[in-house]
Every structure is written in C-alpha cells, then in structure tokens.
Amino acid sequence: MNSSNRTAWAAGAALALLPTLVAAASLRWANDNQPLRDHVDPITILVVPHAVRKQAAGEVEVHWRTEDVLVAPAWSGLVTAVPLEPGQTVHEFDTVAVVDGISRLAVRSEHPFHRALSAGDAGDDVRQLADALSRLAIVHGDSTDRVDGAFVQGIETLAKMIGAPVAAQFDPAWFLWMHSDRPVAAVDMQVAHLAPAQGTVIAESRPFVERATLTTEDVDLGGDVVIGVPGGDIEARVDTDGALSMLTDGAVAQLLAGQADQGASGTLSLKATVSEVSSRVGLELPTSATLVAKDGSVCVWVDESAGGRSDRRRVEKFSDHFESLGHVFVFDGITTATEPATFVANPTNLGLGDECR
C-alpha cells in the first residue's frame, strides 16, 4: 500500500468516525490557570489496514447520483467575489458569493427561506431562522416561534456579520438553501457579472455514492477490507449485509471516474479482489501539538492532571507516524488512545522542546 493511499485512508477515516469516536477519546479541559487554547482534544481513529486475514474474488456494485447543491435565491446585484471553487465541499455557513458587498451564506434548513422576517412575524420559518442563529452562536433571546425584540437584535448581529446594512429585518437573499454537504463539480457564477436569476443552479455536485455493496464468492468477509479495482486499491468497511461504508473521497473519485458525463445517476458494477484486514488504533493531533526528535520520532505531551500542573506532564514519543493536512497521525506504543487524556496544544510556547530529544 503506497503512502498516498495510506494518507487518504487515515484522513478519511478520521472524518467518518469523528461523530462517534470523539467521545471515546474524551477531552478533560484544563481549568487551573490554563486557557483552553493550551490543550487539545485527540481524536481516536481506525487507521491503516496492515494484516491480511482472508482474500476472495468479488464484485462491487455502486449506486451513484448527482444533485443540485445550491440554487440562486431571490437576490439581485453585482457579484463582487466568489469564494466557492469547483472541487470544494460546501459546508454550512460557507460564503458562497458576495453580492453587492454582502456575504451570502449556505445554510441548511428544512425548507428554503422565502420571505423577509421582522418584529411580530411568526411561523415555521421563524423557528428555522432561530435554529440557524443558534448554530451561528448569535444571541437572539428565548423566542423560537415569533420575532420579538431580542430576536431582532440577533438579526441585526447577523447583518453586521455578513456586511449587510443593519436593519431590523431578515432578508432571505442572505441565505442559500442547502440540504447536505457535497463537493461541487462546477460553479456557475462570475465576478463582475449580475447575480444569477432566482432558481438558477449555481453549483452541482460531483457524482457521489448513494449506496455501495460488496459480494464475494464462497468466502464471508467483514470489517475492514482492501478492494482491488481498476485504478488501484481502495479501503472501506463492509457490514454483515454487504454494505460498504467509510469510503474516502479519494476512493469515491476512483470508483466513479468517468461517470460525471453519464447523466444524473446510475449503477456501476466492478469485478474486484477483496482482502479482509486488521486495523490499528491511532490518534490524530494538530501539528502544533507535536515536536520532532532528532531520531525522527514525534513527541507529544500528556497532562495527566488535566489541570495544567507541570509536574503531572509526561512526554510520549512515537516512531510510527505521518503528517497530512496540518495533522499528525501516531500509532505505536499508545497508552492514551482508549482513555481520557489532555494533550498540550503548543509545547513550544511552554518551553517543552528540550524534553524531546
């Protein structure tokens, strides 16, 4: 397995497991004379498969489709910036475009916002706006079903944040409705042009996997697998019903290569060689929380007191590691991967470098 596959698998696995495994590697924030920024939450991840247990011939069936990611709201004006680029994944509250100097945000909601909202208004869209303001950490009072005075102040805070004229009214053209995070194939918007008309598809997703299944001949496989398909190996997890999960972005791109011009959806079948493998447990930490020793190993500092006491810190060294996208993944000799731990976020700032030799 080459290093690019290994990196893609680890990064993808970390993202896929983040919602369920952050709790398993819980953080105990220091609070005795230590600011929050001095500690970091490690992420427990399942990483590089490394020991083959069983092999079999099989077939991968992939059901894929594309979807409209973003559609123009009822806006007007001159496009002055387009931060969204082809290939980028749209996340909630990303700035999609700047129109007449106002940042327009991608927002996830049950339905698109369709009307201006001001004091006294009530309805389901008021509740959805209250939810959005809460996710933005904008204070808007206790009301969630009617726009009251505190709610209006929240709307004014939102206006200031996106560069809109401060007014006591929410403009639905500030938000572009989205229903899921998707990487976009193209962006149909240009700087110095008028904003696209309402209902115009601004961004369409790249093909993505809606469902993928694995069938094998005579051998039952489960857990972590490496699948040999045209273009190279991909890593995934196979459930008891044959469903594949934990496919990285790179694996999806490999599976669906050439499908972008085949319509809005389809089914693809690929012959494959499948290996069931074991995986190791590792930790993901930001690069700033690590230092490199002379022998090439990585040092991290564990604060056993969770209170910032220097006499309760210890350094751990990992020879088996690699770096990707500003994060370091460490594997061997881990004593804290499955129990709560607090890691020093920036040992350089605390003068701990001499301990890493």
Q: What band does 38 get if pLDDT is binned at 50, 70 and 90?
A: low
Given this model, what pLDDT does residue 3 score?
A: 41
pLDDT higher than threshold 80 for residue 194: yes
Buried b (16+ CB within 10 A) or exposed e, 291-308: bebeeebbbbbbbeebeb
In contact, 75 and 198? CB cutoff 8 Å:
yes
Burial of 223 (0-12, 13-18, 19+ CB in 10 A): middle
How many Å apart are CA 315 and CA 60, to the nearest integer? 45
Given this model, what pLDDT does residue 14 score?
A: 41
Buried b (16+ CB within 10 A) or exposed e, 62-88: bebbbeebbbbbebeeebeebebeeee
Q: What band does 50 get if pLDDT is binned at 50, 70 and 90?
A: low
Q: Taking residues 186-197, report their average pLDDT.
A: 94
Given this model, what pLDDT does residue 39 score?
A: 66
Q: Taking residues 107-117, report their average pLDDT.
A: 94
Torsion of CA 162, 165, 170, 171, to 10 degrees: -80
Contacts of 155 (CB under 8 A, 6+ apart): 117, 118, 129, 133, 140, 147, 168, 169, 170
Average pLDDT across the chain, whole number: 79
pLDDT higher than threshold 90 for residue 212: yes
How many Å apart are CA 337 and CA 281, to the nearest integer? 7
Given this model, what pLDDT does residue 36 score?
A: 34
How many Å apart are CA 341 and CA 334, to the nearest integer? 12
pLDDT higher than threshold 80 for residue 171: yes
Of residues 295 and 173, the one with the higher pLDDT is 173
Q: Taking residues 224-245, report their average pLDDT.
A: 87
Q: Which DSSP symbol is given to 350?
A: T
Of residues 259 and 108, the one with the higher pLDDT is 108
How many Å apart are CA 108 and CA 176, to the nearest integer? 8
pLDDT higher than threshold 80 for residue 162: yes
Q: Taking residues 287-297, report their average pLDDT.
A: 86
pLDDT higher than threshold 90 for residue 198: yes
pLDDT higher than threshold 90 for residue 5: no
Among the ranges given (37-46, 248-257, 270-279, 281-290), the one the predictor scored with the smallest mean pLDDT: 37-46
pLDDT digits (tens, 9 = 90+) for 65-76: 888 889 999 999
Q: Taking residues 176-197, report their average pLDDT.
A: 90
pLDDT digits (tens, 9 = 90+) for 303-353: 765 444 445 677 888 887 777 667 787 776 554 443 446 778 888 877 777
How many Å apart are CA 352 and CA 343, to the nearest integer? 13
